[in-house]
């Protein structure tokens, strides 16, 4: 299994490179994951999206789609793509310490 | 008398009506099925219409003809479902009481969900093939087309029959080759997925197929808007792709009646228990087919497998026992790959499509995730199977539960 070392802590990753264990997550790790995704700084808007994703996951066991993010997180789609370039749903989920959204087949 | 109400008389609703009518005593049970239209279309056939292989009139039959005589058919729109009072209100105002409800209202395309997609160019330079009208207009257009860049754009997932866009491109490759103009046509697939298909193995195999046929793929493209004047599609991150003709798979959504009733998610799909097929949080309500929110393909084959599970659980449920059958997400799709060949994929919630033989290991006759002539005949045979066996709720020689036999891991 792949691992990731952040601030002296070694964390297990799943097959998609997301945290294998959601409880390993904290804000410092989020900042580190964001940096890896090419996002140097997490603004309050970033945090609003991340926290919204975590709360939906907590309740429903899957991260929300972009459509739902736009409707319910208060951030419009265009802005979402500026905050998390190239696939906000996938990227924000990773930074939020959640598995990749299932995205149906 | 106890009342069973089935909403939607398409693939799934028709199968359930047939199965239940055959099993239940009509002195004790009344089965009613409601659908807004009288014509039943064989949707998998739409794929072939743009290329003149089928005509639309080859694909349509009266719904009643496929429903048993003791089932009451009401041709009417469905307005609102009220699980609290166990009533469904029809658009003509009639309230229908039920004891047990089966939701089978399917999914449809919604081009209006994307900025700039549905305008005066819709049906001229921008088409769909997921509706009878769309497929026919595209057929007319392709007949006279002189060539250029054909872009097939998948707006967002999930979509009905997720292999249909790939099949469209394989058939387009053959169509333009046969007309001696393949060198004048660029074929380009634009998808929000990270590859040609959803799961790793099949994505790789199908990706190689597309490449061999000279079909370009642009993955990870989240469509933001369409610009009809400049003939380009624009992603949310401002990436652009130009087209001469756009074949669009618009957003697929469950029916508006689901939204009106407050029973759907953001795409109007109904929260369904992935194993029992009962609606989450509702009493005496089952969901089947494209209307569910389940993470498996929206396909006729899936509706068929689900019908066997739902049927068993329904019979337990009406006698007050807990559900016994568990759906595993089984899906089985023929993929038409052009030049009289086809592929077959077979998978479920947990097992991705794998190469091998089907249904018998080492024998087949069908090849999994590989091309063969037999697979192509399987696909063409499916129309006959659909009308004569599948809709009538007959047993097919494939188990509802997926088997690993013949699959190579
Ligand atoms: C182009 C294309 C190719 C496909 N190819 C394949 C394939 O190769 N293999 C395969 O297995 N599947 C394929 N499919 C998918 C397959 O057709 C569907 O998955 C299947 O028909 C789903 O059945 P269903 O009963 O859930 O929905 P449907 O058959 O669509 O039935 C839903 C019914 O509900 C009715 N309804 C909905 N809302 C209302 C309302 N408010 N009031 C009244 N009536 C209402 C509709 O009129 C409709 O008749 C394809 C689909 C398309 C579009």
pLDDT digits over B256-303, tens only? 999 999 999 989 999 999 999 999 999 999 999 999 999 999 999 999
With vertex at residue B396, the alpha carbon angle to CA B394 and CA B399, rounded to the nearest 5 degrees, is: 120
3-class secondary structure per residue, B191-208: CCCCCCCCCHHHHHHHHH
Q: How confident is the model at residue A105 (pLDDT cuts 50, 70, 90)?
A: very low
Higher local confidence (pLDDT), A71 or B301 = B301
Q: Which of A85, A87, A104 sits opposite B295 (nearest CB)?
A: A104
Q: Would you put residue B340 in left (φ > 0), alpha (ψ -120 to 50) or beta?
A: left
CATH of A3-95, one of 1.10.10.370, 3.40.50.150, 3.40.50.2300, 1.25.40.80: 1.10.10.370
| Contacts (Cβ under 8 Å, ≥6 apart) of B368 | B343, B344, B345, B346, B353, B354, B355, B356, B357, B358, B406, B407
Q: Would you put residue B277 in left (φ > 0), alpha (ψ -120 to 50) or beta?
A: left
Cα separation, B77 vs B96, whole angstroms: 12
How many domains does the structure of chain B reveal? 3
- The token pair at B41 is 């279309």
Q: Which of B158, B236, B266 sits opposite A81 (nearest CB)?
A: B236
Answer yes or no: do B137 and B229 share one domain.
yes
pLDDT digits over A10-55, tens only? 899 988 889 999 889 999 999 999 999 999 999 999 999 999 999 9
Q: What's the pLDDT at A16? A: 81
Map out the domains of chain A as residue ranges.
3-95
Q: What is the CATH number of the domain that holds B43?
A: 3.50.50.60
Picking from B233, B249, B265, the residue at the C-terminal end of a domain is B249
The whole-number average pLDDT for the span B352-363 is 90
Assess contact for B256 and B7: CB atoms under 8 A. no
B300 falls within a domain: yes
**Ligand 1 pocket mutation pick from B44, B108, B377 by most atoms within 8 angstroms of CB:** B44
On whether ipTM exceeds 0.85, the answer is: no
Answer yes or no: do B65 and B86 share one domain.
yes
The domain of B266 spans 2-106+255-318
pLDDT at B83 over 50: yes
Longest dimension (CA), chain B: 66
pLDDT at B370 over 80: yes
Phi and psi at residue A10, to the nearest 5°: -100, 125
Ligand 1: does its nearest atom lie under 6 Å from the Cβ of B300?
Answer: yes
pLDDT digits over B324-333, tens only? 999 999 999 9
The residue of B110, B159, B222, B331 whose CB has the most chain A CBs within 10 angstroms, and thus the best one to mutate to test that interface, is B222
Q: How confident is the model at residue A1 (pLDDT cuts 50, 70, 90)?
A: low
pLDDT at A103 over 80: no
Cβ count near B366 (within 10 Å): 23
B396 falls within a domain: no
pLDDT digits over B229-249, tens only? 999 999 988 899 999 999 999
**Ligand 1 pocket mutation pick from B299, B310, B330, B387 by most atoms within 8 angstroms of CB:** B299
**Could you give the count of Cα atoms lying within 13 Å of B53 in the half-sphere of its Cβ?**
18
CA nearest to B330, candidates B296, B375, B298: B296
Residue of B nearest to A104 (CA): B295
The residue of A71, A72, A93, A105 whose CB has the most chain B CBs within 10 angstroms, and thus the best one to mutate to test that interface, is A105
pLDDT digits over B302-320, tens only? 999 999 999 999 999 999 9
pLDDT at B163 over 50: yes
Record the pTM: 0.94
| Contacts (Cβ under 8 Å, ≥6 apart) of B140 | none
pLDDT at A104 over 60: no
Cβ count near B30 (within 10 Å): 17
Cβ within 8 Å, pair B157-A71: no
Cα separation, B290 vs B252, whole angstroms: 10
pLDDT, mean over chain A: 87
Q: What's the pLDDT at B332? A: 93
Active-site annotation of A, residues: 104
Answer yes or no: do B304 and B196 share one domain.
no
């Amino acid at each position: 299994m792949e691992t990731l070392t952040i601030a002296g802590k070694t964390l297990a990753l799943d097959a998609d490179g997301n945290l294998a264990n959601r409880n390993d997550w904290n804000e410092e790790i989020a900042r580190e994951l964001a940096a890896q995704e090419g996002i140097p700084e997490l603004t309050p808007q970033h945090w609003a999206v991340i926290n919204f994703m975590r709360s939906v996951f907590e309740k429903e066991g899957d991260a929300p789609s972009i459509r739902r993010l736009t409707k319910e997180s208060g951030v419009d789609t265009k802005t979402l793509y500026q905050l998390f370039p190239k696939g906000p749903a996938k990227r924000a989920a990773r930074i939020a310490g959640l598995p990749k959204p299932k995205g149906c087949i | 008398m106890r009342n069973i109400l089935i909403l939607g008389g398409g693939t799934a609703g028709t199968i359930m009506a047939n199965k239940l009518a055959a099993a239940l005593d009509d002195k004790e049970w009344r089965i009613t099925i409601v659908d807004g239209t009288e014509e039943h279309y064989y949707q998998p056939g739409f794929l072939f219409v743009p290329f003149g292989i089928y005509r639309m009139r080859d694909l349509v039959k009266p719904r009643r003809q496929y429903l048993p005589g003791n089932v009451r058919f009401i041709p009417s729109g469905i307005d609102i479902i009220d699980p609290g009072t166990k009533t469904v209100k029809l658009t003509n105002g009639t309230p229908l009481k039920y004891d047990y409800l089966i939701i089978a209202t399917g999914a449809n395309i919604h081009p209006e969900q994307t900025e700039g997609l549905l305008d005066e160019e819709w049906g001229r330079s921008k088409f769909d093939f997921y509706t009878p009208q769309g497929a026919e207009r595209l057929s007319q257009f392709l007949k006279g087309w002189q060539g250029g860049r054909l872009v097939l754009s998948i707006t967002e997932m999930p979509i009905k029959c997720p292999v249909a866009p790939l099949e469209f491109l394989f058939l387009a490759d053959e169509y333009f080759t046969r007309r001696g103009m393949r060198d004048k046509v660029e074929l380009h697939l634009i998808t929000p997925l990270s590859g040609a298909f959803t799961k790793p193995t099949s994505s790789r195999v199908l990706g190689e197929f597309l490449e061999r046929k000279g079909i370009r793929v642009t993955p990870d493209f989240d469509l933001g808007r369409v610009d009809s004047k400049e003939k380009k599609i624009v992603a949310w991150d401002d990436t652009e792709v130009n087209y001469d003709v756009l074949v669009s798979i618009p957003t697929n959504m469950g029916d508006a009646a689901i939204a009106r009733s407050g029973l759907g998610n953001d795409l109007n799909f109904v929260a369904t228990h992935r194993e029992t097929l009962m609606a989450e949080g509702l009493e005496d309500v089952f969901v089947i087919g494209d209307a569910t929110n389940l993470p498996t393909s929206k396909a006729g084959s899936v509706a068929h497998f689900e019908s066997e599970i739902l049927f068993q659980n329904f019979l337990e449920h009406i006698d007050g026992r807990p559900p016994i059958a568990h759906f595993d997400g089984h899906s089985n799709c023929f993929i038409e790959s052009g030049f009289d060949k086809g592929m077959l994929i077979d998978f479920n919630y947990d097992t991705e499509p794998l190469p091998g033989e089907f249904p018998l290991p080492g024998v087949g006759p069908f090849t999994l995730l590989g091309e063969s002539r037999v697979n192509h005949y399987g696909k063409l045979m499916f129309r006959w199977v659909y009308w004569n066996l599948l809709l009538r709720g007959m047993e097919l020689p494939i188990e509802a539960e997926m088997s690993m036999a013949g699959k190579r891991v």
